Amino acid sequence: MRDPSLLGPWIRRFLMEHVVSERNLARNTQRSYRDALRLLLPAIARRARKPVDRLAVTDVSADRVRQFLNELEEKRGCAISTRNQRLAAIHALAQFIGRRAPELVEWCGQLHTVPFKKAPQTLVTYLEKAEMDALLAAPDLTSTQGRRDHALLLFLYNAGTRADETAQVRIGDLTLPQVPERDLASVLVRGKGNKPRRCPLWAKTVRELTELIQDRGPSEHVFLNRRGQPLTRFGIHALVERYAAKVATILPSMAKKRVSPHTIRHTTATHLLRAGNDINTIRGWLGHVSVDTTNLYADVDVEMKAKALATCEIKDEKPQKPWREDKGLMEFLRTL
């Protein structure tokens, strides 16, 4: 590195050497770090009155980072969670530089004094069984696109996959037996950090997917758009939202919910929990790193809470007869 005080070379090393090669972070995380720095650099350059390519590492001061974060919330209208994501990227960059340049350790420590903001915890949104059934019934099964859409919605509900995970599934990742009702079927899903997991598939899902992928090679993506190109996560989001809007005209309860592929993922987890599956099974099914994440579903399910409450409900005791009306007692007293 020619000039270790310049910020630009450090950012290139951070994104290419650290994020991609050393950490092998998920693509979405890579994009999140990149986007955070794309927003940060012009903001710092404007305050330091320098071109972006002449910024020094120390130009990214703690005060300027605080101003940048405030700007995200106040001017761009970003949520606290988004603000914290941007700050996480800045902290990661500072730590990367501090470990490799001892003279910048103090600067790194100053940036780490900028705290994450506590965000209000929102309840997980999921669909009731009737709502999920209505969503699955929304596509027109008489058309090729409708059958593909139905297979996609069913797959999301069955596997509980994220939109990006679903978009990346290839035909070779599927294990589809000849007799779905008898033999075990599954799909290999690559989650965050490219961590693989296998999810079982229902016989109905197998039948839908078998029809969808017929006469195609194992390297092809399972879900394709109208032009025969792999469906993107954005396309999957748009598809789910379109059918949710259609169902909302029939079920008023759906109109109150913001339905996305992640909502279906939450629905899968909640319905698995209601069916009696233990938390660790659901954690493995969804690919959660920590069981604490999966425990959220146990907290939001009102139906399960009501059932648990019913088991410890204090029942009304039968009214006891006044002692004067207790003939056995009166007879006992007379014999004394």
Same domain, 36 and 153: no
| Annotated active-site residue in 86, 150, 170, 262 | 262
User: Averaged over 104-123, what is the pLDDT?
Assistant: 88
Note if 265 is an active site residue.
yes
Same domain, 21 and 146: no
pLDDT of residue 297: 58
Mean pLDDT (the chain, rounded): 85
Residue 335 binned pLDDT confidence (cut-offs 50, 70, 90):
low
Residue 11 binned pLDDT confidence (cut-offs 50, 70, 90):
very high
Full-model pTM: 0.67
Same domain, 98 and 158: no
Residue 229 in domain: yes
Looking only at the bridges linking them, the beta strands covering 174-175 and 185-190 are antiparallel
Same domain, 148 and 262: yes
- The pLDDT tens digits of the residues spanning 275-309 come to 777 667 777 777 765 555 555 555 554 454 444 43
Same domain, 144 and 247: yes
Rounded CA-CA distance 211/131 in Å is 26
| Annotated active-site residue in 18, 83, 170, 265 | 265
pLDDT of residue 20: 84
Same domain, 169 and 267: yes
Domain range for residue 162?
129-310
The Cβ-side half-sphere exposure at 72, using a 13 Å CA radius, reads 25
| Helical (H) or strand (E) element with 109 | helix 105-111
Domain boundary among 85, 111, 137: 111
Same domain, 92 and 228: no
Per-position DSSP letters for 190-202, written without gaps between them? E-GGG-EEEEEE-
C-alpha to C-alpha distances, 235 to 140, 164, 196, 221, 261, nearest whole angstrom? 18, 10, 23, 14, 11
Same domain, 51 and 168: no
Looking only at the bridges linking them, the beta strands covering 196-201 and 174-175 are unpaired
CATH number at residue 31: 1.10.150
Note if 38 is an active site residue.
no
Residue 118 in domain: no
| Annotated active-site residue in 23, 192, 198, 274 | 192
Note if 49 is an active site residue.
no
Same domain, 69 and 183: no
Residue 277 in domain: yes
User: How many structural domains are present in the chain?
Assistant: 2
Same domain, 58 and 170: no
21 against 166, higher pLDDT:
166
Residue 320 in domain: no
pLDDT of residue 316: 53
| Annotated active-site residue in 83, 86, 162, 288 | 162
The answer to whether residue 118 scores a pLDDT higher than 70 is yes
Rounded CA-CA distance 257/313 in Å is 32
Residue 278 in domain: yes
179 against 69, higher pLDDT:
69
Note if 170 is an active site residue.
no
CATH number at residue 261: 1.10.443.10
